[in-house]
Structure 1
Amino acid sequence: MDQHLTLYLDPPALARLNAGQHNFFQRVIGAVESVGWTVSVEESTLNARLEAPEKKGYALYHMEEPTHDRALTCRRSYTGAYWHVEAQAARWEWPVAHKKFPARKIDTQEAKTFYRALREKVLGKDKVTDEGFALMPLQGRLSDHRSFQSMSPMEMIETVMVRVTQPVIATLHPNEDYTPAERQMLVALANRYPHFSVQEGGTPELLRRCSYVITQNSSVAFEGYILRKPALLFAQVDFHHIAGSVPHMGLDAALEMLAKRQNFAKYLTWFLRDQALNAARPEFEARLLAHLHAKGWPVPEADIDIPTPIAS
C-alpha cells in the first residue's frame, strides 16, 4: 500500500471534486492512477490530520501544512489553472521564492505571446488606466507583526504615509473580520493623513485604475502584474522578484524599485509557465509525475518528451 495517495481536502474543494468540477484534483488522481497507484479522498479534519502520519502511502493537502515527510501540499498560483505542489504551505518558503528571475533567458517573443493570452483571459476588454493613486489591499490581523512581515500592517500604513505623497486608498479584505479596535485605528490614520482613505470592497476596479500596489503580500499585487502595475511589498512572498520588497532590500531601495521599468511579460512567463504546473495543458500529468518523482515520491517519470507550453 506504499503506492497509495490520500488527498486531504477542505469542504469546498471536496464538494467540487465529488461533483466532478475540480479539474486539478481530477487530473492529479488520473496521473497517479495511470502509474498503478490507488487513491482515496478525505476531508481534512483535525482527527484526519492527527492520524495521517500513521497511514501508509503518501498524502497531498490543499493549502495546509503537510503532516509528515511523505506528504506535500498544493495551492493555486493566483490565476488560471496554475498550481504548485510543494513541501511547505508558506509560499515564501517555496523553491521559486529563492530562485533568481532569469529575465535574459526568457525568449522575448514567447513571453509576448504568453502574456498577451494571459492578459486577455484575465482582463478581457476592461480598460486599464493610471489615475495617480496607490492601492493598498489590506489583509488581516492589522496590529500583529508576524514572522514573515517586515512590520505590522498598521505600521506599514504609517510608514507609507510619511514617505508617499500621492493618495493611498486602502481596501478591506472581504473574508476578514476586522475588530472595532482595528477599524477605529484605520479611522484615526485617515484623520491624521488626508491622503489616506479606507473603503470596503471595490479592489478589482481600483486595481485597474491605480498607479501601483502597496501591500504585505496580498495576491492583488500579483494580479497587478498582469495589468503592468508595480508593487511595494512589506512581507515575504513567492512573487517578490520584480517588486520593491522591503524584507529583501529595505524600504528605500524598495521605494526606488517602483520607478524602475519591469518586464512583466517575461516575469509572468517564467513564474507561471516555467515554475508552476498548468492543469489546463495536455502535458500536465507528465509534468506532475516528473515533479513528484523529483520530490522523492516513488512514481516513475513519464517516458515521453514533455513539450514547452507557449500559451496559457
Structure 2
Amino acid sequence: MLNFYLDDDKRARAEAGLGIFGAVVGVMRAAGWAVRYCGQQDMVAGEGYHLVYNRAVDGRFCFSLRRCYLDKFFRIEATNDRWDWEVAGLPFFAAPGQAWFQRYWRERLFGGLAIAQGGYIFMPLQGKLLQQRHFQTASPIEMIHATLAADPARRIVATLHPREIYSDAELEALRGIERFELVKGSLPVLAGCDYVVTQNSSMALTGFFADKPAVLFARIDFHHIAASVGQLGVAEAFEAVHRPQPYASYLHWFFKRQALASSGDGHQAQIADRLRTHGWPL
C-alpha cells in the first residue's frame, strides 16, 4: 500500500490523474497497489510505503516527493535535503547537442529581459543571515564581506527572500555596507549581473539558463558547474567562477536525465524505475 501525504488540493489532483500526483497514483495502481491518502502534515505511521511532499522523511520506506526547481520536474528522494539528493553525488560529463533545452527555458524564465553584463554581482540572500548552518561554509553576512574582499572591483546587488522574516538585528547588519545594495525583483537583476554569489539559492541554477556563473557558499544538488567555496575555498572559487562552463549540456543532464517529469513520453515508467531504485517492489 502507498500512503500518500497530501493536502486537499494535491489529493484532488492525484485522484483526477493530474500532474506529478496523478502520475504517481497511476503508477501505483497499475502495479496493483492500493493508495491511502493522509493529510500533508500527518505523522508517518502504519504499514506499507510512505510518500510525503516536501517535508522531512520518517522511516525506512518513507520518501520525499519534491519539485525540482522548474514546473513539471520533480524528484523522489530518501531525504528532503537537496544537498544530500542522489544527483549531488553523481559525476557530470558534458555532452554536445542539447542546447534546445536551455533556449526553451531561457525564454520561459527571462521572457523579454535583456541578458547582459552589468558590472555587478547578484546575491540572492536566504534566511538566518547571522547564523552559519551545518550545510554552509559561512553565515550569509560573512559571505557578503568575503565576496567584497574577493572581488574589490564589483558591487553587490542583493535581494531578500520573499518568504523569510528577518529580525531587526539581521537588517541592521546589512546597513552601511559599502558596495552593497538591497533591491526588489530578482529576475531583472539576475539578467544583468556578471555572476551570482549565494549560499544555495535556486536563483543560481536559474542563472545557468542565461549563462551566468555562480559561486556557492553552501552545499546543494546543482553544484557541479558552480564554483563551490566548500570544495575550492574562497580565493580559488572566485577565480574559478570566470571559467567557461557547459551550461546547456549541464541543464539538459540535470533536468531531462536526472529528474522526473510529471508528463510526457515515458514519464510513468520513469517514476516506476525511480521507486524500484529505492527498493519498492513494483
Task: Sort the TM-score into its range (normalised by shorter chain).
Answer: over 0.9
Q: CA deviation at 1:119?
A: 2.2
Alignment gaps of 5+ in structure 1: 300-312
2:182 corresponds to which residue? 198
* Cα contact 1:16–1:22 (8 A) shared by 2: no
TM-score normalized with structure 2 length: 0.94
1:143-180 CA distance string (max 9 Å, x none): 11110000111111111112222010111111000011
1:18 has 2:12 as partner: yes
1:265 has 2:248 as partner: yes
Alignment gaps of 5+ in structure 2: none
Go from structure 1 to structure 2 and tell me whether the alpha carbon gap of 1:206 and 1:21 turns closer, same or farther (over 3 Å shift).
farther
1:92 corresponds to which residue? 83
SS in 2 for 1:36: coil
Q: CA deviation at 1:130?
A: 1.4
1:278 corresponds to which residue? 261
2:238 corresponds to which residue? 255
How many residues get paired? 279
1:6 corresponds to which residue? 3
Q: CA deviation at 1:21?
A: 9.0
SS in 2 for 1:142: coil
Higher mean alpha-carbon deviation, 145-154 vs 115-124, is at 115-124
Matched AA of 2:140? P
Matched ranges for 1:51-70 at <5 A: 52-53=44-45, 55-70=46-61
Q: RMSD of aligned C-alpha atoms?
A: 1.5
1:305 corresponds to which residue? none
SS in 2 for 1:213: strand
1:291 has 2:278 as partner: no
Aligned-partner Cα distance in 1 for 2:17–2:166? 33
Matched ranges for 1:1-312 at <5 A: 4-9=1-6, 11=7, 14-18=8-12, 23-45=19-41, 48-49=42-43, 52-53=44-45, 55-103=46-94, 106=95, 108-109=96-97, 111-165=98-152, 166-187=154-175, 191-193=176-178, 195-199=179-183, 201-299=184-282
* Cα contact 2:17–2:26 (8 A) shared by 1: no
* Cα contact 1:115–1:268 (8 A) shared by 2: yes
Go from structure 1 to structure 2 and tell me whether the alpha carbon gap of 1:22 and 1:211 turns closer, same or farther (over 3 Å shift).
farther
Q: CA deviation at 1:118?
A: 2.6
Aligned-partner Cα distance in 1 for 2:222–2:188? 22
Counting aligned pairs with the same residue, the percent is 35
SS in 2 for 1:237: coil
1:307 corresponds to which residue? none
Matched AA of 1:136? M
TM-score normalized with structure 1 length: 0.86
